[in-house]
Chain A
Amino acid sequence: MENIDLKAMWQKAHIQNQEKISDGANIEEIIKMNHCKTISQILADVKLRILLYSLILSVFIGLMIYAFIYLGINFSIGSIIPFTLVGMFLLISTTMEINRFAVLTRNADNLPVEASQNYFRKKLNRMKSIDFLSYLILLYLLAILVIRGYIQDIGGFKNLSGANEFQPLIVVFIFILLLTPWFIKYQNNQRYRKIVSNLHNDED
């Protein structure tokens, strides 16, 4: 089986003139560009989404500040929940897109191939850990605040009877808040699955 001479096969296959990939391409013109068309398009797509999510998030935060601080509107816990969910969604989407951009623009071309892979792997893992920890802290704090607000709303622990119509909703909401960091972790693993599996293959 192993009597195939790969080197001879390779040389024989390349005896003929190599068909040119970039026929007549002007190197001087090419190196003036920042990226090729396809990569530029990928990066522009991500940048556009970052801009869009950041803009919506800023407007949302602005409106919330205006309502809570300037107008001094006092919302009940029941009505804060949908706002919090929208805010969370916007924040998560913005962060995810920023991270995607960071992953797309990081490289260490001058290092040996394995070192470059390791550099990328470390950056990716660090980014995933920071994502997980930030969301863990943020959402657990939010959960504590919601519980505190709810207990204040119903007039203390002694009224925690289950009779309140909002109670099941609050429990589900808190449950969602507590699970979201793991959901983010899962999402990140899915998002970077192809890369990670490729890096693991190369580790073998």
Chain B
Amino acid sequence: MKDEFIALVNKHEGILQKICNIYFFRNPYKEDYYQEILIRLWKAYPGFRNQSKFSTWLYRVALNTAIDIIRKQSLRPRYTEISKFEYNIPESESNTESDQKEKLYQAINHLSDIDKAIILLHLEELSYQEIGEIIGISEGNTGVRIGRIKHQLFKILENGKH
């Protein structure tokens, strides 16, 4: 089971990277949280019964974990000092792709936790049905919410603020 899990995770590693980038944008503990997502995926893996695609299940568990980590962060009793090693925010690159990526992540960072999940799934070209399945909302509601989130993102991207 372990080998099968590792192979599947390796295959879908990009999904985890994107979820971490969206939820832990510029967070010095991003690598650590990536590990937490992997641990929770492994713990939840026995509950995966091939009723849905592996990627759908992976999105669901990883998104739940990312949101849960944010909750835990907000309950953090005190500030823990960050070591120089941990504090490794990449300097902004000058090329256009990186600028665009930075701009987009910054805009998404203004959204609520569930809205972040919805827009990520939409940008990853998942169907409304799949998004609804992962988030737990109807297809109709998915469409409405995507429209609203996109409008919000356009405003942020245009004005550079919320």
Q: Is the interface of A mostly helix, strand, loop or mixed?
A: helix
Give the residues in chain B near A191, CB-CB below 8 Å.
75
User: Does residue B113 face the partner (Cβ distance < 8 Å to A)?
Assistant: yes
Q: Is the CB of A21 within 8 A of B64?
A: no
Contact of B123 among A10, A34, A42, A204 (CB under 8 A): A10
Mark interface residues in A16-42 (1 if CB within 8 Å of B CB, else 0).
101111100101101101111111011
- Residue A73 is within 8 A (CB to CB) of chain B in the complex: no
- Contact between chains at A112 and B100 (CB < 8 Å): no
Given contacts A27-B10, A104-B72, contact A13 B35 (CB under 8 A): no
Tally of A-B Cβ pairs under 8 angstroms: 168
Q: Is A107 an interface residue (CB 8 A)?
A: yes
In the assembled complex, the CB of B59 is this many whole angstroms from the nearest CB of chain A, namely 9
Question: A15 in the interface, Cβ–Cβ < 8 Å?
Answer: yes
A110–B47 contact, CB under 8 A?
yes
Closest to A193 in B: B74
Asked if B91 CB lies within 8 Å of chain A CBs, one says no
Q: Is the CB of B100 within 8 A of A28?
A: no
| In the bound complex, CA of A194 to CA of B20 (Å) | 20
The answer to whether A36 and B35 have CB atoms under 8 Å apart is yes
Chain B residues near A104: list those with CB within 8 A.
Answer: 72, 75
Interface size class of B (residues with CB under 8 A): 35 or more
Contact A9 B75 (CB under 8 A): no
Contact of A9 among B17, B61, B77, B100 (CB under 8 A): B100
Chain A residues within an 8 Å CB radius of B40: 107, 109
Q: What per-residue 1/0 map shows which CB atoms of B2-22 lie under 8 Å from chain A? A: 100110011000101110110
A30 near B136 with CB under 8 A, answer no
CB within 8 Å of A: which B76-100 residues: 76-78, 80, 90, 97-98, 100
A28–B6 touching, CB < 8 Å = yes
> A25 contacts B35, CB within 8 Å?
yes
Cβ B101 vs Cβ A194 within 8 A: no
What are 9 A-B contacts defined by CB distance under 8 Å?
A2-B150, A6-B153, A31-B2, A33-B35, A109-B40, A110-B48, A112-B133, A192-B75, A198-B113
A interface residues, Cβ below 8 angstroms from B: 1-2, 4, 6-7, 9-10, 12-16, 18-22, 25, 27-28, 30-31, 33-39, 41-42, 45-46, 49, 100, 103-104, 107-117, 120, 191-192, 194-195, 198, 201-202, 204
